[in-house]
């Protein structure tokens, strides 16, 4: 499949097949990224020249929706980083089923030493006490390893995120808002589906931010 023949609808259908978490961990805020949001992010990144033939790192990859989607879109090298062994097992199994060569690595994102052209991530929203400021840790690591980042955050946290991006010598070049469905999957959930507003950001930064 050439870059020019790829259709977003085909990507949507493919990403919908990726399994969710078997046993979501509340401490890690494990929510599956909806396929429609993931495909929008990936397809836009493709059009910006940030996927095809590039090295991609998916930080906090979970069951692999960004890593798998990026490889399907012909990224040259894809690395998925997550601390959860069960999620990585699911991601590896799906990638192998579809003959997608992806390196998945079980480690905390703070220990990631890989560099990339582009980071893709849906970091924890920081709603759980154990995960407060996790979004900051993810952004700091992303800026340290790649010049271009695509990331998802609660829209309500954007004032903080914008300030942090400035401190990290980055620039938000694009923003797009979505309604993100949070399906009941953890013991404390009281609704079958809750909805939050999230923003997908594209961030670029100057090379001296890596120093």
pLDDT at 128: 47
| Residue of 51, 44, 47, 49 lying closest to 68 (CA atoms) | 51
Range of the domain at 148: 3-210
> What CATH code is carried by the domain that includes residue 75?
3.40.50.150
pTM of the model: 0.87
Residues facing residue 172 across a β-bridge:
203
Round to whole Å and give the CA distance between 12 and 21. 19
The pLDDT tens digits for 81-106 are 999 899 999 999 999 999 999 999 99
Residues facing residue 209 across a β-bridge:
none
CA-based angle 195:120:142, to the nearest 5?
A: 110
How many domains, in total, are found in the chain?
1
pLDDT at 6: 77
């Amino acid at each position: 499949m050439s870059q020019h023949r790829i259709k977003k609808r085909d990507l949507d259908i493919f990403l919908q097949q990726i399994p969710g978490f078997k046993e979501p961990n509340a401490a890690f805020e494990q929510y599956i990224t909806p396929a429609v949001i993931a495909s929008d992010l990936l397809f836009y990144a493709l059009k910006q020249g940030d996927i095809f033939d590039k090295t991609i790192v998916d930080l906090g990859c979970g069951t692999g929706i960004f890593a798998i989607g990026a490889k399907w879109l012909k990224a040259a090298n894809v690395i998925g980083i997550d601390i959860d062994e069960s999620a990585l097992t699911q991601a590896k199994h799906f990638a192998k089923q579809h003959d997608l060569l992806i390196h998945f690595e079980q480690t905390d994102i703070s220990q990631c030493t890989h560099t990339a052209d582009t980071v893709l991530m849906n970091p924890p929203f920081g709603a759980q006490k154990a995960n407060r400021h996790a979004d900051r840790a993810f952004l700091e690591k992303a800026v340290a390893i790649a010049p271009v980042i695509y990331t998802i955050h609660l829209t309500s946290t954007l004032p903080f995120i914008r300030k942090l991006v400035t401190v990290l010598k980055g620039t938000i070049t694009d923003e797009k808002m979505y309604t993100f469905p949070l399906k009941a999957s953890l013991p404390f959930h009281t609704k079958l589906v809750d909805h939050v507003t999230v923003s997908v950001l594209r961030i670029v930064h100057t090379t001296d931010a890596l120093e």
